[in-house]
Amino acid sequence: MCKYCDKTYVKNATKMQQHIAKCKKIPQGPTHAAARSSTQGENESVSAVSESDTHSSASGPSGIRGFFDFMDDTSQKNADECFARAIYATGSPLMLTSNVYWKRFLNVLRPAYIPPTRHALSTHLLDEEFSRVQAKVKQTIDQADCISVISDGWSNIRGQGIINYIITTPQPVFYKSVDTKENRHTGQYIADELKVIINDLGPDKVFALVTDNAANMKVAWADVEETYPHITAIGCAAHTLNLLLKDIMALKTMDTLNKRAKQVLKYVKAKQVTSATFLSKQKEKNKSTTLKLPSITGWGGVVIMFDSLLEGKESLQEMAISQSVGIDSDIKKVILDDVFWERVSSSQKILKPIAAAIAKIEGDGAILSDVQCLFAELKEEIQTILPTSLLLKAEETAVVKSLEQRREFYMKPVHAAAYMLDPKYYDKGILSGEEINGAYAVITAMSDHLGLDKGKVLGSLAKYRTKQGLWKGDGIWQSCQHISAATWWKGLCESEALAPVASILLQIPPSSAASERNWSLFANTHTKVRNRLTNVRVEKLVGIRANLRLFEPDTEPSSTRLESDTEEEDSELDAEEVDMLLDDDEVQEESID
């Protein structure tokens, strides 16, 4: 490409020489005159020009090398791979290189670089990068000493059923997704699909299956556990806590409060004048909080809604007494009602600890042993708060009963076993006699599966629980505050017969949150604008985007991912959605049952 008139001759240096000699846009002057004369007198073959002579010189034009850039096939291939990887990692449009502004930008960076076409980005470049990433996924899974399978279902933008599979190593990696096509999501179908995944991974290496608590999943659990007795199927702790929130919000006092709060929010958000006035008043107070309606995906959104109301209370009350805004009398009555605000504030004292527990258990660092302690702490906190709440006595009793029922419904002996073997919970004796016996049974069964001497394993357990032998000193117990429980067992207690069992139990995740987060990537990839993407291509794009971090183990996630990669579904609904919900006071019932 000529640097002065943008004339391009692809792989034709002779024509470029002839053009430079005649180009009318080359400035006059001794330097440029020398450049013209050098091209006119140059008779050497283009093949004799070295690679270093075909790139622009920083010191200024010197002969033909000052006027055109060149990339060999290897450089072009490497550039294409890096460019494609950046496209896939950020979820950018595959047609990006068709945009004239991107073309110009890339041309400024490197005139000789010809970016890949949309077709190349969606075919062979995508296939090659997906293969590279999948090889890394396989390597990561092969190197893990034990793994768990997390699975969840979703409907894409076209309403097609998709099931994804996440493997914890213990770091979660996206393994694959399956288009269920015309198949119904029955327990038998789900079990058959899970067994295919387990067999692909190697059954002896899989120790847990984590899904939501739906009825069809329980049917699948029984089938999988019958086929593979050493695999424990468990429900999602976060889903269980969401059901607890649902139980509490179904109480008459809470239900009435919820409806009134949504009535206020919908009214303000649905009208252009009230919405704009609210935002203006918030800005005057240096507050960025907007009013947020709960999403349809979880009851934790109620906590966000109440928080947004409390943050905007002053602005809402100013609007209610303003003659210029003209708020309806029934809405104004709620906004100016002190009892309403007292109940919102009081309800948050009950709901926030549960929402915080959900957030904790959904973290990638959460493990199975955390659940026992979390439920115990939650029960203690709620029982302390309830006497000062505005709930009726019968409702207070119902909250405690619901918490106990949800805990009993969720817990399995494997939770007790993990809790018993987590050194950071050693001094917190909250297990019942029945739970301790159940934990012994789990440890014994796993010892059998691993081919360990049960007598030695139980003897090691006895020494651990009584702080004898290796566990006699204080130092080893202090160290557990600085490393993960599994690392503690594998690194410091490796010589003990109990170590293999403990390290496996303490790598099992307590929730299917990793699968839920993976759906955020699907939603950000397969959008309304990109609804023509095939499910196979979406799987490849998500697989690359989710697992590229495996190549950057020491890099901060913020530098390898966009913020949207980990965003939960927005809990704030737009004006059009508000209109759809104006007559719907049970917006959250759809996805929780």
Which pLDDT score, from 0 to 100, does residue 7 have?
A: 75
Greater confidence, 34 or 299? 299
Return the pLDDT at 75: 93
pLDDT tens across 149-167, in order?
999 988 888 888 999 999 9
- pLDDT, tens digit, 9 for 90 and up, residues 445-471: 999 999 999 999 999 999 999 999 999
**Residues 396-447 pLDDT 10s:** 999 999 999 999 999 999 999 999 999 999 888 889 999 999 999 999 999 9
C-beta atoms surrounding 144 within 10 Å: 18
CB 224 within 8 A of CB 191: yes
How is 301-335 classified by DSSP, letter by letter? Answer: HHHHHHHHHHHTHHHHHHHHH-TTT---HHHHHHH
Residue 554: predicted pLDDT: 65
Higher pLDDT, 347 or 44: 347
Instruction: Determine which of 41-55, 301-315, 347-361, 485-499 has the lowest per-residue pLDDT on average.
Output: 41-55
∠ CA 388-391-394 to the nearest 5 degrees? 115
Q: What is the pTM of this model?
A: 0.79
**42 in helix, strand or coil?**
coil
Model confidence band, residue 39 (pLDDT cutoffs 50, 70, 90):
very low
Higher pLDDT, 282 or 364: 282
* pLDDT value of position 458: 96
Mean pLDDT of 538-559: 82
Average pLDDT over residues 181-203: 94
Task: Give me the pLDDT at residue 115, please.
Answer: 94
Q: Report pLDDT for 64.
A: 52
Q: Residue 154's pLDDT is what?
A: 86
Query: Across residues 289-312, what is the average pLDDT?
Result: 86
pLDDT, position 296: 65
Q: Which pLDDT score is estimated for 561?
A: 56
- Amino acid 526: pLDDT: 86
Q: What confidence category does residue 5 fall into, taking pLDDT thresholds of 50, 70 and 90? A: confident
Q: What local confidence, expressed as pLDDT, does residue 101 receive?
A: 94
- Residue 2: its pLDDT value, please? 75
Q: Identify the weakest region by mean pLDDT among 12-16, 214-218, 378-382, 562-566.
A: 562-566
User: 26 falls in which pLDDT band (50, 70, 90)?
Assistant: low
Q: What is the pLDDT of residue 27?
A: 63
Place of tokens 């959605």: 577
- The kind and range of the H/E element at 232 are strand 232-234
In this prediction, residue 556 has a pLDDT band, given cuts at 50, 70 and 90, of low
Residue 570 has pLDDT above 60, yes or no: no
Judged against a pLDDT cut of 60, whether residue 47 lies above it is answered with: no
Contact 550, 141 (CB under 8 A): no
Cα radius of gyration (the chain): 31
Residue with tokens 């067992």: 489
Mean pLDDT of the chain: 85
pLDDT of 244 > 70? The answer is yes
Strand spans (E) along 79-192: 147-155, 161-168, 172-179
User: How high is the pLDDT of residue 57?
Assistant: 34
Exposure of 369 in the CB half-sphere (CA atoms within 13 A): 22
CA distances, 110 to each of 5, 69, 70, 105 (Å): 16, 8, 9, 9
Name the percent of the chain lying above pLDDT 70: 83
Task: Supply the pLDDT for residue 364.
Answer: 78
Identity of the highest mean pLDDT range in 3-7, 196-200, 524-528 = 196-200
Position 279 pLDDT exceeds 90? yes
Question: What's residue 531's pLDDT?
Answer: 81
**Average pLDDT of the segment spanning 36-45:** 41
Contacts of 557 (CB under 8 A, 6+ apart): 549, 566
Query: Which are the contacts of 326, defined by CB distance < 8 A and separation ≥ 6?
Result: 273
Q: In this predicted structure, what is the pLDDT of residue 11?
A: 59
Whether residue 369 is predicted with pLDDT greater than 80 in this model: the reply is: yes
What confidence category does residue 532 fall into, taking pLDDT thresholds of 50, 70 and 90?
A: confident
Nearest residue to 486 (alpha-carbon basis) of 472, 504, 470: 504
